[in-house]
Chains A and B, each alone.
Chain A
């Protein structure tokens, strides 16, 4: 232990401080044991990139894991990387890049949305929120890439599940359960994450000026094609100023369909796709790899909503419901774009009230979907339900919460009242 670590380890347990910054797993465990004993609620934080998502709740202390950071083991040939939970995504991606590998689920950088600049957060935070980028329908989300973890439950006990191999059905799949649990079940300490080779190249077919209805048809056809695209978005014309690329020959609404793989194959598939969709030459353009990468970075990081003052909802419905869902919101003052081939709807709302929120929630449910409030005025965060849930699942969630965190010391109330 270095001098600095020693000093830190001496001060971290000072419970008079409101922010506790452990640097070892033992320290994290000590803090949690102490909090369990004294029933002290903790807010679990990393790099504060997504801490505004979720309900407002009262926590006496903040458990800040940003100093619990570092790559433990990276085995490119075994396709995994094992890291401490507070490791920045940026650092992981930089390391993977050296071996031409990547986190294929494209973690969203919420920094642009909340602060106007990049802050992609930590791996622990990304897994805890489980928001996947545009490649979701092809490769899965964070939950599909978490191979194993070690964490500390609400009693201060170190637990683990999974491992570093992809095929593993030993016991319950707690990797899935913890992904998307918003830090309410276990404080993650170490994560083994699947990594994949970067595609040799990536190009994007842009279709000009479609109506949303046509856009959904094109996206549906593309995603049901053996062309095997890895991204499918629709931006209405209100976003045109964000997409001034050299390769783009028009202004207005656009569909972007990404194709990745070996260079030969990508060119062949893009051509085939334009034929399958019966596109005339003046109806589409193709973004080369550099521009394609910028396009999808903007999309995955919600850069079109950069530093927005407005409210943002994330709605997911079966793609067959998207059009009807949008039509029912005709009279609401909003802008939106579609990802995941039309199934993921990012809704930016100018004015919001509990009444509007509840209306949208009901419409979402009517269309067999779910919504999550990503950004909302602070004073509404205590009263609004950030997530949708039914009473049966609430009851089960309560039991599961109790089985990990019996005294409700981890992010209490962040997801639901009483959980």
Chain B
């Protein structure tokens, strides 16, 4: 992927840069259009930092009407647009293109309405995930999805990627906690899908837009459900002598009818790294460690914890530590949530993968990852949202060494292919972006991809909104509305792909 081709650069757009910048400066405030390389530099990459490209210009609209006008202008002048929220995405979904206008939504940063009666919050898209909880926590409410980057990631970006988090086993991902959005289509049409009610009728465009990775529209307003915080939350740290034991324990907890609020597993490498980094009190001698959390009323939580203790013992657990206070519980999570910086200490760079697998395949997949780690000679540490089967291997490499990057990409691709092979998915919550674009054919055949592209063409006939992301396409065929991809191989390898 380090040689990944992006859509063909339209040289007429590049040569027209001054006019485009000046035109946009007449649509929105001139100071909100950035075009000097020094101003553009901060926007050249997102959370997938191995890939960078400077955009033609950055537009920072302040109102939905401005978003609409900019999109309409770009649509009429065949200028590509890449939307961007907080830029924390891990799959390169908001990586700019050389000839694109990057639409930075940073000025949409206000919570618009807190509506306790209808248990929802209406907010602009660039408010951070955690800020929504902060806005309602004094009344004991919170917003459930909690991606690890929640302190920085924007709610609009969460919608675009359908972000999950460690509690999505019980509370679902973004799509299950969203009531409505306002969205602007590439032709400038402003519309609302959903509102403050559940299941708006007609086609579920809210569901379609969620997780569409900025390819179908630009989100300008979001309405999310809020929940009353549970009375009691307790977590347990459980050590296991083998990954198999940990995997069996997870399967049995679920089979017994317990649905924890969160259930995480880390392998020995990551347990040690995170414990060194955040002093979370983890059992560093265990081959696998599980954090399991229950919430609800006191009796409910006690009841579940009792069950988990029994199941863990039956599955040879080597240690079990129960959180005695909320502070201690948060400390348990602090380690897990610091998995990224902890790996940053171990290697110059790391790539975080994001496959989904059936829970029962955990041991098999981790064994394969460990085999691949030897094959590629790159260390790996594994975090796993065990409850919902979402695996995050962190591959450590050195981005300054092209060979190391190449090996890391191949390693990552092999892991994801294996996830698909055992019945899982290429991506559980980070999105396809540019990172997994070429792997789409592992999960889908021609017809599947073609159907999705037809939807794209229906809403954005010129394929100007975030092109080159998610779908592997032959340029020629894309224009005709057809793709010819099979088993990852194109029929016409000499034609530039995007």
Q: Are B359 and A316 in contact (CB-based, < 8 A)?
A: no
Known: A143-B204, A164-B423. 18 other contacts (CB 8 A): A75-B358, A159-B447, A159-B451, A165-B357, A168-B427, A170-B425, A170-B440, A173-B162, A174-B451, A174-B452, A177-B207, A224-B116, A228-B296, A318-B196, A343-B197, A368-B195, A393-B191, A403-B458
Q: Are B297 and A169 in contact (CB-based, < 8 A)?
A: no
A residues within 8 A CB of B140? 226
Q: Is A389 an interface residue (CB 8 A)?
A: yes
Q: Are B425 and A167 in contact (CB-based, < 8 A)?
A: yes
Q: Are A141 and B199 in contact (CB-based, < 8 A)?
A: yes
Q: Is A78 an interface residue (CB 8 A)?
A: yes
A residues within 8 A CB of B205? 177, 393, 396, 400
Closest partner residue, chain A, to B471 (CB atom)? A171
| Proximity string of chain A (139-178) to chain B, C-beta cutoff 8 Å, 1 when within and 0 when not | 0110110000000010001111101111111111111110
| Proximity string of chain A (292-322) to chain B, C-beta cutoff 8 Å, 1 when within and 0 when not | 0000000000000000000000001111100
Q: Which residues of A line the B interface, CB within 8 A?
A: 75-79, 100, 130, 132, 136-137, 140-141, 143-144, 153, 157-161, 163-177, 179-181, 185, 196-198, 200, 220, 223-228, 261-262, 264-265, 268-269, 272, 316-320, 340, 343, 368-370, 372, 387-389, 392-393, 396-397, 399-400, 402-404, 415
Inter-chain CA distance A223–B226, complex, in Å, is: 11
Among the 9-residue stretches B124-132, B227-235, B328-336, the one with 4 or more Cβ atoms under 8 Å from chain A is: B227-235
Q: Is B444 an interface residue (CB 8 A)?
A: yes
A residues within 8 A CB of B451? 153, 157, 159, 174, 403-404
Which among A75, A159, A265, A318 is the interface contact of B296 at CB below 8 angstroms?
A265
- With A179-B204, A368-B196, A400-B203 known as contacts, the answer to whether A78 contacts B303 (CB < 8 A) is no
Q: Are A197 and B257 in contact (CB-based, < 8 A)?
A: yes
Which among B254, B298, B470 is the interface contact of A268 at CB below 8 angstroms?
B298
- With A320-B115, A393-B202 known as contacts, the answer to whether A165 contacts B195 (CB < 8 A) is no
Q: Is B432 an interface residue (CB 8 A)?
A: yes
Which among A77, A220, A268 is the interface contact of B299 at CB below 8 angstroms?
A268
Q: Is B106 an interface residue (CB 8 A)?
A: no
B residues within 8 A CB of A320? 115, 117-118
A residues within 8 A CB of B430? 169
Q: Is B208 an interface residue (CB 8 A)?
A: yes
Q: Please list 21 pairs of residues, one from A and one from B, whose beta carbons are closer than 8 Å in the complex, sorted by A's number.
A: A78-B389, A132-B198, A141-B199, A165-B358, A165-B423, A165-B425, A167-B173, A167-B390, A168-B425, A168-B428, A169-B429, A170-B436, A171-B440, A171-B443, A171-B449, A177-B205, A179-B204, A316-B198, A318-B195, A319-B117, A343-B197
Closest partner residue, chain B, to A158 (CB atom)? B447
In B156-171, the 8 Å CB interface with A consists of 161-162, 164, 168-169
Closest partner residue, chain A, to B91 (CB atom)? A169
Q: Please give the distance in Å from B446's CB to the nearest CB on chain A.
A: 9
B residues within 8 A CB of A415? 202
Q: Are A167 and B389 in contact (CB-based, < 8 A)?
A: yes
In B212-266, the 8 Å CB interface with A consists of 212, 216, 228-231, 251, 254-259
Inter-chain CA distance A151–B141, complex, in Å, is: 40
Q: Is B138 an interface residue (CB 8 A)?
A: no
Q: Are B201 and A265 in contact (CB-based, < 8 A)?
A: no
Q: Are B358 and A164 in contact (CB-based, < 8 A)?
A: yes
Closest partner residue, chain B, to A78 (CB atom)? B358
Inter-chain CA distance A160–B459, complex, in Å, is: 20
Closest partner residue, chain A, to B215 (CB atom)? A172
Which of B118, B140, B207, B302 has the most C-beta atoms of chain A within 10 angstroms of its own C-beta?
A: B207
Inter-chain CA distance A70–B258, complex, in Å, is: 28
A residues within 8 A CB of B251? 77
Q: Are A181 and B211 in contact (CB-based, < 8 A)?
A: no
Q: Please give the distance in Å from A397's CB to the nearest CB on chain B.
A: 5
Inter-chain CA distance A179–B202, complex, in Å, is: 10
A residues within 8 A CB of B325? none
Q: Is B385 an interface residue (CB 8 A)?
A: yes
Q: Are A140 and B176 in contact (CB-based, < 8 A)?
A: yes
